[in-house]
Amino acid sequence: HDGHCDWGLNCFQRDGTTAVPGCSGDGLPDKDYCYVPQAGELVYAGDDLEPQTNFPLGECEGDCDSDGQCDEGLVCFQRS
């Protein structure tokens, strides 16, 4: 669950000791780990303008509620 990780990190859910992107070692079997997402991956960077330092949001970052919360030239894509 990405909400368990620091802002800007994603949760890598795995089976056994599947390698975690950007990390070394095996870790504990069947445990999930936070990692730095690669360019183009969706990132939960903040919500309701918190933390303020993460706004405006960049490409593939969420959670936005309006275009004004996104970097210049980006629009907020809202799913229903």
17-56: per-residue pLDDT in tens? 999 999 999 999 999 999 999 989 998 888 999 999 999 9
This prediction's pTM: 0.72
In the numeric block, the tokens 């089976």 are attached to 15
- What's the pLDDT at 1? 74
Q: What is the pLDDT of residue 79?
A: 83
Confidence of residue 70 (pLDDT cuts 50, 70, 90): very high
Instruction: Residue count of the chain, please give it.
Output: 80
pLDDT of residue 65: 95
Half-sphere exposure of 66 (CA within 13 A, CB side): 3
- Does 58 have pLDDT greater than 90? yes
Name 79's bridge partners. none
